[in-house]
A = this chain, B = another copy of it.
Amino acid sequence: MSIKEEDFIEELKRIVKQKGLKYTEQREIVLSILLQADDHLTAEEIYNKIKEEFPETNVGIATVYRALSFLEEVELIASINFGTDGKKYESNAKSHHDHLICTDCSKIIEFIDDEIEKRQEKVAKANKFKITGHSMQLYGLCEDCQK
């Protein structure tokens, strides 16, 4: 487990305690699965991974959803929306970024563009909006799928 991952687990403990809630194995497992994943996972994929990697722990899909909502709320993880096809989650251990999504094979490429970020702030300010989050996806065909 990398240092960053430990930090996130510690952060979760801190948040839970500070809110007067309880620290459970399930919440930790969901977070750690996302910390170790190198791609974006759906709730169901996380649920299956738990059953695989932690067969001794009994988890319900409802708990996975509850943990994900909680972790997203406290900003330890983030989600991208795939419409009817559900949401995908990733940990916030990586720095902020946006996504290029292949509409054919669903591959996701992450990118950062500071200029875009800056312009977004500007637009928000011009419209007197207090930004709490944003979601930007570019859809298209990846190199392989263009063939």
Contact = CB atoms under 8 A, between A and B. Distances in A.
A132 B124 contact: no
Interface of A: 79, 81-84, 87, 100, 102-103, 109, 111, 113, 115-116, 119-120, 122-124, 126-143, 146
B116 A119 contact: yes
A137 B138 contact: no
Contact of A83 (B87, B134, B143): B87
B140 A129 contact: yes
19 contacts: A79-B83, A100-B124, A103-B132, A109-B129, A111-B123, A111-B127, A113-B119, A116-B120, A120-B138, A127-B142, A128-B142, A128-B143, A130-B146, A131-B139, A132-B141, A133-B139, A134-B136, A135-B136, A135-B139
